[in-house]
Amino acid sequence: MLAQFIINGLIMGVNYSLLAIGFAIVYNTTKIFHIAAAGLYVFAAYMFWLFSVPIGLHSIIAGLVSVILTMSLSLLCEIGVYRPLKHLKATNNVAMIASIGLLAIIINSIAMLFGNNAKVIQTVSSESLTIGEILITSPQLIQVSVGVIIILLILILLKRSGWGLRLRALSDDEILFKVLGYNPDATRTVIFLMSGAIIAISSDLTAYDLGLDPQMGMNFLVSAIVAMIIGGIGKTWTCLIGGLTLGVLQALVSGYFSASWQNAVSFILLLLFLFLKPSGIAGIKTRTV
Amino acid sequence: MLLQLKDIHTSFTNSRNETFDLLRGVSLDIEEGSITALMGGNGSGKTTLFNIISGFHKNYSGSVIFDGHNLKRLPPHAIASLGIGRLFQGGQLIPGLTLLENLQLGAPDTNDNRPLSSLLKPHQTREADLQKKNKAIESLIQLFGEGNKYLDKLYDDGSSFSYGAQRLLSLARLMIGDHKLLLLDEPTSGVNQQFFDTIKSIITQIASTGKTIFFIEHNTKFIRDIADSCAILSDGIITEHCPTDNIAWDVAKPLSYNTLIKQLFHEQS
Ligand SMILES: Nc1ncnc2c1ncn2[C@@H]1O[C@H](COP(=O)(O)OP(=O)(O)O)[C@@H](O)[C@H]1O
Ligand SMILES: [Mg+2]
């Protein structure tokens, strides 16, 4: 049983890590607490459902459409709301409140258009793989393999590409970034497109396995944010450590104890880290000119 | 004239809601190819003046004309792209990036700022990145010699270098860029003698490539050795601006900084 719980936890953890990275690249570079990410998550799942179930496209095509639409909506949040606020010199708290507003608009529009009922994408009972005692369903297998590939791809891109370098430079020191002649707005455009794509992939993978409803976003985002914090704020690869830790702990607690304690685990872990290892949270340095 | 400051005024409001005029009509011309020192007491507004030129402080009246452009409405990154480089007073290298990455960022972007061009032209982007790396390594060799210790530390984190080394290396980063004007805020403050001499030689080398240098400095020996002219900021205006040769530097070494400035220029006039 233990091995099964750990495997389930790791698979969930990969998914948390992915969403955490989508949130973290925005948070680290712009310092916006991008709650609307939960709205993008729900939007992506519904677009995936819309194009694969009623419209009947192949899951891969529907997934791609969902990713592209979510990237556009993510950029729209930036260009329509965050960037004008920044140019008006609004504080990060104001941006966060605007983000909560965006979340409400997105979720309510989706509930209005598609209803509040849960939906499923994968209807046939899925095949599964058994290795000894451990059972892995095929949606889980897709989740973990696509998730791991995408995470590695992002980490390599951040480490190796010119844009990755800019993104890291912007998150570590915005003032030096500007004084070296780089346009923060152009970099933010790339960041929101990337973040939208990552959030959509994470969402599509979950929706394919577990189905979707308009309230799914916040639960997952809270776990992802906890993953980001316990992994260590300010970097991207730390999301993977935080995500896997959280996924496994949640799986163990809900396996041996009760599933209703799953969210409590997130909060207890969060509090423990805030008290015992605050360095992870204070990892952001700012410069004064 | 490469840089013209015309009648710059700015004021700040402190925590007790009192407004004070920090700059009250600063006017100064910086000639192309010159090395100009800016002196002034602590809190006289030197750094603020640099912040105005580089676009971080926008709340001012008067005009800043650089190479024919009025900088008033331009954001900091656009001003930097016009060719103004800057060394800050505080920390210098970006922590979390390696030395090589830090230097690479200083190389001018041949590949412009358009977000998607790197995705659309991956080959050209990779070429450009490689060129930047080579340029970074060349500049380290040029400044510190073949086989210098920094070449073994290219992949060390920016924050692992000592304060003095960070200042040297960020001067190297400025050298890689194709700036016309460099604003250096107290380049030698807080560094030891060995770094002091290296910094002096680096600045001289940078100046010999034709770049114009405008720097804030307290050390009169340093100013005498490298600057062509020296300007004094006092009570919110430029009270003096004259060639360093005209200044009677020998007077009164042990005096306080403010008295020293008064003395020096009194003797000269
Ligand atoms: N952003 C700011 N808000 C309020 N006061 C400021 C600000 N920046 C600078 N000052 C004030 O302006 C004065 C001059 O600062 P600065 O330009 O850093 O002086 P210097 O570089 O000549 O030592 C200081 O007294 C400082 O308190
Ligand atoms: Mg200063």
Closest ligand 1 atom, residue B44 Cα: 22
pLDDT band for position A281 (cuts 50, 70, 90): very low
> DSSP code of A128?
E
Distance from the CA of B1 to the center of ligand 2, in angstroms? 25
Chain A contact for B166 (CB, 8 A cutoff): no
Q: Do B107 and B25 reside in the same domain of the chain? A: no
| Tens-digit pLDDT profile for residues B217-228 | 988 889 989 999
Q: Do B88 and B98 reside in the same domain of the chain? A: no
Pocket test of ligand 1: the residue of B8, B9, B12, B44 to mutate, having most ligand atoms within 8 Å of its CB, is B12
Q: Do B183 and B76 reside in the same domain of the chain? A: yes
What is the number of domains present in chain B? 2
Q: Which residue has the higher pLDDT, B17 or B70?
A: B70
Give the mean model confidence (pLDDT) for residues A105-126: 88
pLDDT band for position B252 (cuts 50, 70, 90): very low
Judge residue B147's burial from the number of C-beta atoms within 10 Å of its C-beta, 0-12 exposed, 13-18 middle, 19 or more buried.
exposed
pLDDT band for position B120 (cuts 50, 70, 90): low
Give the Cα separation of B48 and B36 in Å (integer).
17
d(CA A83, nearest CA chain B) in Å: 14
Q: Among the three residues B160, B190, B218, which one is the final residue of a domain in this structure? A: B160
Chain A contact for B118 (CB, 8 A cutoff): yes
Chain A contact for B12 (CB, 8 A cutoff): no
Chain A contact for B237 (CB, 8 A cutoff): no
Nearest CA to ligand 1 atom 27: B43
- Residue numbers of the domain that contains B125: 94-160
Give the Cα separation of A214 and A114 in Å (integer).
9
Give the Cα separation of A39 and A121 in Å (integer).
19
Computed over every residue of chain A, the mean pLDDT equals: 90
Distance from the CA of B48 to the center of ligand 1, in angstroms? 6
For residue B36, tell me if it sits in a domain.
Answer: yes
pLDDT at residue A287, as a whole number: 44
Q: Do B182 and B58 reside in the same domain of the chain? A: yes
Q: Do B192 and B261 reside in the same domain of the chain? A: yes
Least confident segment among B73-77, B88-92, B138-142, B232-236: B88-92
pLDDT at residue A285, as a whole number: 44
Give the Cα separation of A129 and B206 in Å (integer).
66
As a whole-number percent, the residues of chain A with pLDDT over 90 amount to 69
Distance from the CA of B42 to the center of ligand 2, in angstroms? 7
Q: Do B151 and B234 reside in the same domain of the chain? A: no
pLDDT at residue A138, as a whole number: 87
Distance from the CA of B187 to the center of ligand 2, in angstroms? 11
Judge residue A74's burial from the number of C-beta atoms within 10 Å of its C-beta, 0-12 exposed, 13-18 middle, 19 or more buried.
buried
At residue B65, what are phi and psi to the nearest 5 degrees? -110, 120
Q: Do B12 and B109 reside in the same domain of the chain? A: no
d(CA B57, nearest CA chain A) in Å: 9
pLDDT band for position A282 (cuts 50, 70, 90): very low
Chain A contact for B113 (CB, 8 A cutoff): yes
pLDDT of B240 above 60: yes
Q: Do B27 and B134 reside in the same domain of the chain? A: no
Cα–Cα distance list, B70 to A36, A175, A180, B35, B180 (Å) = 39, 22, 20, 22, 16
Q: Do B30 and B85 reside in the same domain of the chain? A: yes
For residue B170, tell me if it sits in a domain.
Answer: no
Distance from the CA of B53 to the center of ligand 2, in angstroms? 14
Proximal ligand: closest to the CA of B42:
1
Proximal ligand: closest to the CA of B185:
2
For residue B168, tell me if it sits in a domain.
Answer: no
pLDDT of B115 above 60: no
| Tens-digit pLDDT profile for residues B10-56 | 999 888 888 999 999 999 999 999 999 999 999 999 999 999 999 99
**The domain that contains B237 carries what CATH number?**
3.40.50.300
pLDDT at residue B262, as a whole number: 66
| Tens-digit pLDDT profile for residues A54-81 | 999 999 999 999 999 999 999 999 999 9
Computed over every residue of chain B, the mean pLDDT equals: 87
Give the mean model confidence (pLDDT) for residues B111-140: 74
pLDDT at residue A286, as a whole number: 42
Chain B residues near residue A288 by CB distance under 8 angstroms: 90
> DSSP code of A237?
T
Q: Do B228 and B264 reside in the same domain of the chain? A: yes
Scanning B32-51 for CB atoms below 8 A from A yields 47, 51
Ligand 1 pocket by Cβ (under 6 Å): B 12, 22, 40, 42-48
Chain A contact for B243 (CB, 8 A cutoff): no
pLDDT band for position A235 (cuts 50, 70, 90): confident
| Tens-digit pLDDT profile for residues A161-183 | 888 899 999 988 999 999 999 99
Q: Do B88 and B182 reside in the same domain of the chain? A: yes
| Tens-digit pLDDT profile for residues A15-41 | 999 999 999 999 999 999 999 999 999
Nearest CA to ligand 1 atom 20: B43
Give the mean model confidence (pLDDT) for residues A197-210: 95
For residue B205, tell me if it sits in a domain.
Answer: yes
Handedness of CA A6, A9, A10, A11 (dihedral sign): positive
Mutation target vs A (from B94, B173, B183, B185; most A CBs, 10 A cutoff): B94
pLDDT at residue A207, as a whole number: 94
A20 touches A227 (CB < 8 A): yes
Token pair for residue B182?
């460099």
Chain A contact for B219 (CB, 8 A cutoff): no
For residue B166, tell me if it sits in a domain.
Answer: no
Chain A contact for B91 (CB, 8 A cutoff): yes
Does the model's pTM come out above 0.90?
Answer: no
pLDDT of B174 above 50: yes
d(CA A58, nearest CA chain B) in Å: 27
Chain B residues near residue A184 by CB distance under 8 angstroms: 77
pLDDT at residue A284, as a whole number: 42
Q: Among the three residues B133, B160, B187, which one is the final residue of a domain in this structure? A: B160
How wide is the angle at C-alpha A14 spanned by C-alphas A13 and A19, nearest 5°?
95
| Tens-digit pLDDT profile for residues A147-157 | 999 999 999 98
Q: Do B84 and B183 reside in the same domain of the chain? A: yes
pLDDT at residue B221, as a whole number: 86
B204 touches B187 (CB < 8 A): no
Mutation target vs A (from B48, B73, B77; most A CBs, 10 A cutoff): B77
pLDDT band for position B250 (cuts 50, 70, 90): low
B50 touches B66 (CB < 8 A): no
